[in-house]
A and B are shown apart, each in its own frame.
Chain A
């Protein structure tokens, strides 16, 4: 074989292997989608039905009428948006301070914030439940929002500080010399320059909230539950309504698929807290 055809064979092989791994990865998503289109008969048929006749029945049934999951979708969006907004406001100030200002014991504070990020929610979930109960915040979206802000704040501070540090200091210093206050320099210069970082961070924060199960499960009930809790409720030891579970899950998954493509460049950085960059 000459080197050119060898190269072609090598390429084809690499593509083939890449496709195999990609298929393994997304097959369950495809299967979930097909399941969401099936009816009861198709669910239990052997051999399995690969391509069901497309119908929206499951989606319509699960998201309308008396037993609609629609309110939980609204809860999820509400908790995600509001908690992200507040996390971003508090987080940007803190991140700006870490990136630009000298503060007493700054190194220790940074270290501590990173440690808090790594705390397992399961370790504090019982106290959080008791605290929320004493404030009569159980089964209220506000209660879950308060907790999600606490979960996401360290992440947002840490990642945003990284983005803000990467902006050259001179630009800001010039502004300060020209008589801007620190707030003007943050608002008019740093934040616009950090806009991509800000957008990515908000998307991550929203996504963490969107996916979060434990706190939502424990702190909410009939009124304030979010989509992951509603999905987990399809679980049963005996009889699961697969087609209904699949339809509700697809509604949860589709936004994430879209968002993943939007932030693809930053996923590694975000999920490793900036330790690994691409």
Chain B
């Protein structure tokens, strides 16, 4: 077939997808940018007022928004560090190819497959200060009473705990894939050279895991920047503003106060952060050579 004809067919096949995404992805994004420059409240009948960058200036003076950025970053960074640590240990355990490990690994993955809405509520039940299982066990172990989600000091840590519990399996299975990609000859050579186990980890395994670790860190960073479901089903940003995250801030302003202009401005900030991270991730995808041409 002629090359130009092939090109035409190629474009034709892409067209439905491109048109669809243009209407339901590009257009809403442009819409959000336009809204972010206006003072619009759906609950009030007055006309939308163009305020330019006004919403952004207001946002950066809004203590609650600043708090939400701080909380989001705190949750993201602490969670990712813990997930990497736990994930690596678990990956090493599952990497020992023993009978039945595969089925255990699949069971281990279950939490990340289910919506955080369910887990949020389950953990709120387990962490109930009065009749929850966690405090019953704490009491038996002599750790005393813990307020968990109920106190401003501990709520964010409880949230991180649930987040890590749900997503450490993600890190673990990815590290596991990375570990199993290390050629056996490399490990044998290290053993022949008399390398100690920590030297093997430091000089063979860590370098081999660098690529997958970058993928995990960036993907989890983006997930955490848009963390919503878990917050919605546990603390709803509270107590006070202790667990207010950026996504929840956007949701609250958009759909509780109907301040859609202000909400969109905050959404644009999250969008910009995520776009920067995603471009980095895509570069790594291509450089990793895992994506074939």
Contact = CB atoms under 8 A, between A and B. Distances in A.
Given A120-B274, A214-B228, A240-B125, A18 B101 contact: yes
Nearest to A86: B20
A264 B111 CA distance: 13
A121 B226 contact: yes
A252 interface: yes
Contact of B6 (A96, A101, A218): A101
Contact of A25 (B98, B110, B215): B110
A103 B113 contact: no
A214 B251 contact: yes
Interface stretch (A52-60, A62-70, A188-196, A254-262): A254-262
B292 A277 contact: no
A197 interface: no
Contacts of A91: 17
A273 B286 CA distance: 12
Interface in B7-41: 7, 9-14, 16-18, 20-21, 24-25, 27-29, 31-32, 35
B270 A122 contact: yes
Given A28-B119, A182-B9, A232-B117, A276 B98 contact: no
B232 interface: yes
Contacts of A48: 131, 133, 136
B44 interface: no
A245 B107 CA distance: 23
User: Which of A32, A106, A176 has the most CB atoms of chain B within a 10 A radius of its CB?
Assistant: A32
Given A124-B31, A128-B28, A129-B254, 9 more contacts: A25-B165, A31-B125, A35-B125, A94-B18, A115-B278, A119-B271, A131-B31, A232-B232, A235-B120
Interface of B: 1, 3, 6-7, 9-14, 16-18, 20-21, 24-25, 27-29, 31-32, 35, 90, 93-94, 96, 98, 101-102, 104, 106-126, 131, 133, 136, 165, 169-170, 173-174, 177-178, 180, 212, 215, 219, 222, 225-226, 228-229, 232-233, 236, 247, 250-251, 254-255, 260, 263-264, 267-268, 270-271, 274-275, 277-279, 281-282, 284-285, 288, 290-292
Interface of A: 11, 14-15, 17-19, 21-22, 24-26, 28-29, 31-32, 35, 43-48, 90-91, 93-94, 96-98, 100-104, 106, 109, 111, 113-116, 118-131, 146-147, 149-150, 153-154, 157, 162, 165, 176, 182, 207, 210-214, 217-218, 228, 231-232, 234-235, 237, 240, 242, 245-246, 249, 252-253, 256-257, 259-261, 264, 267-268, 271-278
